[in-house]
Amino acid sequence: MPKFAANLTMLFNEMPLLDRFAAAKAAGFAGVEYLFPYDFDKAQLREQLEAHGLTQVLHNLPAGNWAGGERGIAILPGRSAEFRDGVFRAIDYAGPERAFNTMKPVSDKLGKNVTRVGANGDGQTTKVANQIIVALTIEAVSGALLFASKAGANPALVRQALMGGFASSLTFSKFTASGW
C-alpha cells in the first residue's frame, strides 16, 4: 500500500500550521511536507513531528519574496549571497535519513532517478547543484545564440545544428524551443 505525506501547506488550512501536524496524524499520515518552514523555529517543528510520531519528508529552499511573485533566486543576478544563505538554512531544517527510507518506495514508482546522496542536507545540496547546472546552461545557450545572431547567423538554424551535436541537452532543448 502506498504511503503519502500530508502537505501541510495545502491541507488543513482551517487551522494554524503547527496544529496541522495533529490533524495529519489523525487523518492517518505518517509523513508531512510543507513548502517553506522558515516562519517557524526548527525546534517547534521538530517538537510537533516528535509529539505526533511524524516524519518530515520534504521542504523547499527559500524562494525569495514568494508573495511578490518570486519562485526561486538561484539565477537572479546580485542575489547569490541570499541564495547561499538560503541553502544553508534549508540544510539546517532538513530531516533524518529515515524520512528518505520511508518515502523511497513511493518515490521509486513516481520518478526515474531517486537516490539518497548522503546525510541530512545532501539532497538539498544536490538540488542546488542541479539548479547551478541549469542556470549556467541557460546562460551559455543565451550567450552562444546571441553571439551567432550578432555574427549574422540565423539563430534558428544554429539551434538546429547544435541540437544534433554535443551541445544538445534537455535544458538547451526546452530553453530554446520557442523564440529562436
DSSP character at residue 62 = P
The Cα–Cα gap between 147 and 157 comes to 13
DSSP character at residue 180 = -
State the chain's maximal CA–CA distance in angstroms.
Answer: 66
Say which of 112, 127, 150, 174 is annotated catalytic: 127
Residue with cell 535544458: 171
112 catalytic per annotation: no
Residue with cell 541557460: 138
Is 109 exposed, middle or buried, given 0-12, 13-18 or 19+ CB atoms closer than 10 A? exposed
Provide the pairing of β-strand 31-33 with 5-7: parallel
DSSP character at residue 1 = -
C-alpha angle with apex 26: 24 to 28, nearest 5 degrees? 75
The Cα–Cα gap between 138 and 5 comes to 33
- Residues marked active site are found at 127
